[in-house]
Amino acid sequence: MAYTLANLQSDIRSYTEVDDSVLTDAILNTVIKNAENEIYREVASDVSNFYATSNAVIGNRYVTIPSDLRTIRYVQFTDSDGKQVYLDQRDPSFMAEFYETPDTANGLPQYYASWDENFWVVSPTPDAAYKITLAYTKQPESITNTTQPTGAPASLNGTYVSNKYQDMLLYGCLKNAYGYLKGPADLLQYYSTAFRTAMASYGVEQQGRRKRGEYDDGVIRTPIKSDSPSTY
């Protein structure tokens, strides 16, 4: 059965035999988020792969980074003739040195670099409204951030992990909860081992999905902006 946030919090308190005067909702939300983040860091899931598309603005060398980006997979520019260029990542100093006058170095971009937490900078500066495709791994939704209408099934507003891999999520939460509570070492070890075993199975399943190509169709695409925050 898919987890709701309330169900998961209730199970953590039940398994640990600790009530909400100690394991408050706020503490449990942190426990849950830490378990989710460990899962997302350890296992690459194609469910988290996203594509964002936009068009370059002539004379604007900045590209907005998607707000839910976790890791970048590739940046692609496509011209009106269909020519595709996959940009190489560089340090900003490389582009400033390679193109001594960035404003006059115009053309189809070949490189990109991090400008700040919100923008990438590309070089050369776009001289046409090239199509931009960003392939990236998004920051997955946390069950602690989902809202659920009264009486609605958990699957409507749950997450991929909470809906399909409840045991793994619970084990991770119990491991973290016992660590927080300074609980019995044997129980901490038990749930740590159970969590690692469940994650190993989850990883094998994700690799199998990738080989079968279950995610080839229906890729979600989101628009991105290309605003200019400043100049060199």
Interatomic CA distance for residues 175 and 193, integer angstroms: 9
Interatomic CA distance for residues 231 and 229, integer angstroms: 7
In this predicted structure, what is the pLDDT of residue 214?
42
In this predicted structure, what is the pLDDT of residue 15?
97
Residue 229 tokens, joined: 């925050």
Residue-level pLDDT, tens digit, the chain, 232 residues? 789 999 999 999 999 999 999 999 999 999 999 999 999 888 877 778 888 999 999 999 899 998 888 888 999 999 999 999 999 999 888 877 766 665 557 899 999 998 888 999 998 999 999 999 999 988 888 999 865 545 545 455 678 899 999 999 999 999 999 999 999 999 999 999 999 999 999 988 887 655 544 444 444 444 545 555 544 4
The length of the chain is 232
Check residue 151 and give left, alpha or beta (phi > 0: left; psi -120 to 50: alpha): left
Whether omega before 124 lies within 30 degrees of 0, making that bond cis, reads yes
pTM for this model (two decimals): 0.68
- Enclosing H/E stretch for 84: strand 84-86
Question: What is the chain's alpha carbon radius of gyration, rounded to the nearest angstrom?
Answer: 22
Q: What is the DSSP letter of 21?
A: T
H and E: helices and strands count for the chain = 7, 11
Interatomic CA distance for residues 207 and 5, integer angstroms: 28
Provide φ and ψ at 47, rounded to 5°: -60, -25
Interatomic CA distance for residues 11 and 167, integer angstroms: 11
Paired with 222 in beta bridges are 52
Interatomic CA distance for residues 128 and 121, integer angstroms: 16
Pairing mode, strands 111-114 and 88-89: parallel
Q: How far is CA 22 from CA 3, 103, 177, 180, in A?
A: 22, 59, 11, 11
Pairing mode, strands 84-86 and 88-89: unpaired
Smallest Cα–Cα separation from 174: which of 14, 43, 7, 20?
Answer: 14
